[in-house]
Structure 1
Amino acid sequence: MTFDVLTRTAAVMIAAAMITVLGLAVPASGASVPGSAIEPVRECDELPKLFDLPGARTHVERAEVMDQSEPKHCYVEGYVEPAVGFQLRLPLETFTGRYLQYGCGGFCGQIRELPFPDCGGEPGGDVAVGATDDGHVSQGLEERWAADNQAARDDYFYRAPHVLSVAAKRIITEFYGAPPRRSYFSSCSNGGREGLLLAQRYPRDFDGIVAGAPAHVMGPMLGIYAPWLARTNTAANGEPIITSAELPALHQAVVAACDRSDGLADGQIDDPRACRFDPVKVQCPPGADQPHCLTPRQVAVARALYAGPKDPSGRRLFPGWQTYGSELGWDGMITPSPGLGGTSFAAWLGDNYLKYVGFPIGTPHSSLAEISFTAEQLHRLTAEGVKGNAMSLDLSEFRRNGGKLIMWHGWADPLLPPAATLDYYQRLSQRNGGFRRTQRWARLFMVPTMHHCGGGYRLSEFDPLHELVAWVERDAAPYRIIANARDAEGGVSRSRPVFPYPLRASYDGTGSIDHASNFVPAPPRRPPLDIVRWIGSSLHELPGPVAP
């Protein structure tokens, strides 16, 4: 054998040993095999006659055959009282018994187009899909719907995804003559929060859940962290301190300093926790103010963003901070965005939450300009925020019911800090007997270089739904999921395996560093110590409300 072959053989043997030690069984190859197609037993236009469905008083207002679409399907619109709008798409010829529900991002208030995924049968045709607007319609840039409407708030906080699951399954039963064989939920951001919330509070709604970049610490995230990001980068005159123009130079300096921290020079930072970088390295010469360097004031702001919010006594107010490598994602998130009237996304989120959502109706509210970053303000946000938080560590009923959970997060997420997800997963693992036991039903995947729910400076695509279906239906637990980057023509320019946390991908020494097949799982460089000590840690023990 050549040296390269010996090296590759050794790497594969080490990888196999690591998978065995952590209890990560390697599944058989191949996609999940769906059952035979289930034909509808009703006509599509009969569905509006349904109402008052058990568990969720439901009204179907429109049902229309889309015979020019692929696949042909029955398009359904309706609402669950009082105002949870929803859409369903029910395949007419290729349905095999799976229902997939998507979550809703941001403050929701709208339903985006529902794609049909490929879960193993005819591309896109074997799954019925659904989504909800979370109980309100957003108009413009202000979320006034929540100012004095507790029912709308509760729908958004926790009720809407659940009642849609009840209504959708009953409509599917009426349309096809049988309930769905398997039900899945998949979403990111606020939708990721909804996924965790469903596992925690409604553990029988779904067999499998994908929760990407979950905004599970909702109250502190929208009421403290987002406002803090905006205020930290805003001067007294209202102008941004760091602008979009400085971000490329800062990002290039960070990657140059930390690229090799994972042992491979490949233009990406796999784990920002190994990065050691001080923005003073790109500080301008005295008197200079150029986009390729930072002024002393900009250096101070960058340091603060990497450190995260603290109260005047130095106690953390949120379990997260900006990670090294996330800098390009600050554009529009922390720096002003033309699409939001010249404000940043963080400022828009924080101001709307503080004005209209974050405090009990009838009590004094706040705003981005008024909020103070103190323990008192954090505690003031708890009364209403706990209704939407998805922080419970008790997923025992979901686990006992056979539920499977895939969490994932981009390491370069500029909006929802990956540290918060790592904090939750390690707490969950401790509650459930450690990583090995927890990974029997709940796994976390940390995607290098990815921004918020997609995009990124290297890897930009990650979708674990296919692996979730295989886990639920064939007990093929995901031992790796591929993340991709694409070139200008749409071709895959780089692929990397993402292994269940805390494993990491390690180059085996042979072949292209842009091909996933040349990477194997390796143990973490240090024991996972991801629990963040912060003022709101006790929120993990507070139960949230459950809708009837």
Structure 2
Amino acid sequence: MKMKLSTVALSITLSFALSGCNSSDDDTTSLPILGEAQPATLADCTALIEKFTFEDTVITSAELIDAGEIDYNGRGQIFATPAHCVLTGEMEERLGKGLKGIEDQAYAISFEMRLPTDWNGRFLYQANGGLDGKVNKAMGIFLGTVAYDASALNKGFAVISSDAGHDGYGEQYFGLDHQARINYGYGAVEKLTPMAKSLISDAYGKQPDRSYFAGCSNGGRHTMVAATRFPEMYDGFLVGDPGNDLPQAAVTQLYGVQQFETLIPADAPLTTAAEITAAIEGTVLAVEYDLLASSITKQCDALDGLEDGIISDLVGCQLAFDINRDVPQCDGQRDGTCLTAEQKRVLGNIMAGPQLSSGEDLYTHFPYDNGIGASGWASWEMSAAFSRDAGTVATVFSTPPVEFDNYDTSSDAGLIEAYQYAVGLDMDEANTLINATTSEFSESSMSFMALGGETNYDVMRERGAKMILLHGTADPVFSVQNTIDWYQSVDEANAGNADEFAKLYLIPGMNHCGNGPATDQVNTILDDIVTWVETGMAPESITANAREENTELPVDWAKDRSRPLCPFPQVATYDGSGDIESSDSFSCIKPQ
């Protein structure tokens, strides 16, 4: 039996209320202040190839690059860079299991480090997203929405990036090899961190004074896992939209596909990739998502004191909005002005999340937010769900792994296999497989990928380390409620004082790691975590800006709109006067 929407609203309300009761207004603390990092100058870039030695590690190239610009991802996302040394290398080169019974698949933890000529004394581990499998440029990009000059590298950090131990972006073959699974989950971080610090020592004559870890999506999960497993290695953790319980979230994506599948007409052709994608995407059209979003906006926009297209009061919205009551229901044909009863059922089930036959939730629910009308929400929930998650659930997260005949979801055969796996997956069985172990696979995916319900951050706290979390309220991949639940549990475990070392900031309207009707550009976030760690000054609020290049912005928003992101559970509330496009006209207030 599905969780009723009133229960969803009650759950998020209780979570907010409990954290609100426990939250501390006083940021003064007796916890250590770690002190500011001190700069140094790079000695010799190319000499590091021969000079540096570390167990099971080879530096394969070293090149000094002049100050200029770099295309971060090959898609025209240009960032300013200082003069720096770029190094590439490999750790733990070995042979392991691969596709079709291969016993000698080549594996290594490949990495790139960028060391600025003028170093600020700080090190940042850039955690990458998705399935890893690719060494992204080590520039210290936390969110792809940051400004031209806001990368960690440009600020003077030494930065590392890796493929987490396997080669092949988006490929799932590594799930057949247990060590590759472990490296993807946490092993690469454990091995690369001491190596990177040793390399920095050789390059500058000292190890980093302060070390930071940052990432969004699976990179956010990497960051959370680092804080949980290796709290002594890093001083500051910058977390975005984390997949804290990623295997459960991936299964939940496939549950969504199953729900959409019930809306596909019985006579619809499903023999090609194009037909399957069109059938899924036809179950709820963009205009119908727009209707749902506008219905949410109508009920919730004014709750924060201003009708401005931003729903800051997430908890109030869950109480104010009801999909069955507040969205027009079709009497006849779909025409974009209504949802059918079956569409409401499906969307309600997806927002509530899957349950096991016992009635227990497999994963948490998703709060309603007007960012559901953005293209990123539908993309992640519909065709992208089975094309990205089916092979991953089967081969990387299930124990024993299930090998697909074809992982190429750009082909008919590959996408059909992924779709059939998704719609045929039993939730009880999936839950068993992501928690299972065998003699060959001694750690389950919920062990090597997830936080395991950990709330003890005593080592991190007592060292003086700090954590800042950002999460979009309209994230369709990793529910913001999951992060809220984690924060509330940690707050309870720390007698209501979690905000002494960890602060959570929600970004209204933002989809997964950016976009949506949101002020999703947070240019000061790296400075904020550094200031908190090194001077003890915690950010009261964080200013977020709209981006002109964000095509999801409403046309009536100013291109330079700004808003304060408030520490959870406070809500950005309009002061009653002042420029509605400026963050200066808003205050952070706890909901009643």
Length-normalised TM-score, structure 2: 0.76
1:62-118 deviation digits (Å, cap 9, x = unpaired): 1111125331111000112131111111111x2121111111101111122333679
Query: SS of the counterpart of 2:394?
Result: helix
Conserved 8 A contact 2:139-2:152 = no
Q: Which residue in 2 is equivalent to 1:507?
A: 574
- In structure 2, give the amino acid aligned to 1:88: M
Q: Which of 385, 393, 398 in structure 2 is aligned with 1:354? A: 393
Q: Which residue in 1 is equivalent to 2:508?
A: 448
Correspondence list, 1:56-135, <5 A: 57-67=56-66, 69=68, 70-82=81-93, 83-92=108-117, 94-115=118-139, 124-135=154-165
| 1:330 has 2:377 as partner | yes
1:155-214 deviation digits (Å, cap 9, x = unpaired): 101111222221111111001111111111111111111111111111111110111111
Correspondence list, 1:164-183, <5 A: 164-183=192-211
| 1:378 has 2:378 as partner | no
Query: SS of the counterpart of 2:338?
Result: coil
Q: Which residue in 2 is equivalent to 1:5?
A: none
Query: SS of the counterpart of 2:41?
Result: coil
Q: Report how far residue 462 of structure 1 moved.
A: 2.8
| Structure 2 residues without counterparts, runs of 5 or longer | 1-20, 30-34, 69-80, 94-107, 142-146, 269-275, 405-417, 437-443, 552-557
| 1:143 has 2:172 as partner | yes
Q: Report how far residue 285 of structure 1 moved.
A: 3.6
Q: Which residue in 1 is equivalent to 2:544?
A: 483
Conserved 8 A contact 1:208-1:405 = yes
Q: Which residue in 2 is equivalent to 1:228?
A: 255
C-alpha separation in 2, matches of 1:162 and 1:314: 38
Q: Which residue in 1 is equivalent to 2:565?
A: 498
| Structure 1 residues without counterparts, runs of 5 or longer | 1-17, 27-31, 336-343, 526-548
Query: SS of the counterpart of 1:115?
Result: coil
1:198-254 deviation digits (Å, cap 9, x = unpaired): 1111111111011111101122112x2121122222245552222334222221222
C-alpha separation in 1, matches of 2:344 and 2:151: 53
C-alpha separation in 1, matches of 2:22 and 2:355: 39
| Distance verdict in 2 for CA 1:369–1:423, change over 3 Å | same
Q: Report how far residue 354 of structure 1 moved.
A: 2.2
C-alpha separation in 1, matches of 2:23 and 2:455: 27
C-alpha separation in 2, matches of 1:264 and 1:314: 39
Q: Which residue in 2 is equivalent to 1:289?
A: 334
Q: Which residue in 1 is equivalent to 2:313?
A: 271
| Distance verdict in 2 for CA 1:382–1:487, change over 3 Å | same
Q: Which residue in 1 is equivalent to 2:299?
A: 257
| 1:192 has 2:220 as partner | yes
Q: Which of 347, 362, 384 in structure 2 is aligned with 1:345? A: 384
- In structure 2, give the amino acid aligned to 1:266: D
Q: Which residue in 2 is equivalent to 1:23?
A: 26
Equivalent pairs, count: 484
| Distance verdict in 2 for CA 1:504–1:25, change over 3 Å | farther
C-alpha separation in 2, matches of 1:278 and 1:424: 26
| Distance verdict in 2 for CA 1:95–1:201, change over 3 Å | same
Conserved 8 A contact 1:73-1:91 = yes
State percent identity of aligned pairs. Answer: 29
| Distance verdict in 2 for CA 1:51–1:124, change over 3 Å | closer
Q: Which of 511, 516, 522 in structure 2 is aligned with 1:462? A: 522
Correspondence list, 1:32-43, <5 A: 35=38, 37-41=39-43, 43=44
Q: Report how far residue 320 of structure 1 moved.
A: 2.5
C-alpha separation in 1, matches of 2:518 and 2:398: 39
Query: SS of the counterpart of 2:135?
Result: coil
- In structure 1, give the amino acid aligned to 2:314: P
- In structure 2, give the amino acid aligned to 1:293: C
- In structure 2, give the amino acid aligned to 1:377: A
Conserved 8 A contact 1:311-1:373 = yes
Q: Which residue in 1 is equivalent to 2:409?
A: none
Query: SS of the counterpart of 2:60?
Result: strand
| Distance verdict in 2 for CA 1:121–1:372, change over 3 Å | closer
Conserved 8 A contact 1:150-1:361 = no
Length-normalised TM-score, structure 1: 0.82
C-alpha separation in 2, matches of 1:358 and 1:160: 17
Q: Which residue in 1 is equivalent to 2:273?
A: none
| Distance verdict in 2 for CA 1:202–1:489, change over 3 Å | closer
C-alpha separation in 2, matches of 1:204 and 1:210: 16
C-alpha separation in 2, matches of 1:489 and 1:220: 30
Q: Which residue in 1 is equivalent to 2:349?
A: 304
| Distance verdict in 2 for CA 1:519–1:362, change over 3 Å | closer
C-alpha separation in 2, matches of 1:120 and 1:269: 27
C-alpha separation in 2, matches of 1:417 and 1:461: 20
C-alpha separation in 2, matches of 1:396 and 1:219: 26
C-alpha separation in 2, matches of 1:283 and 1:521: 34
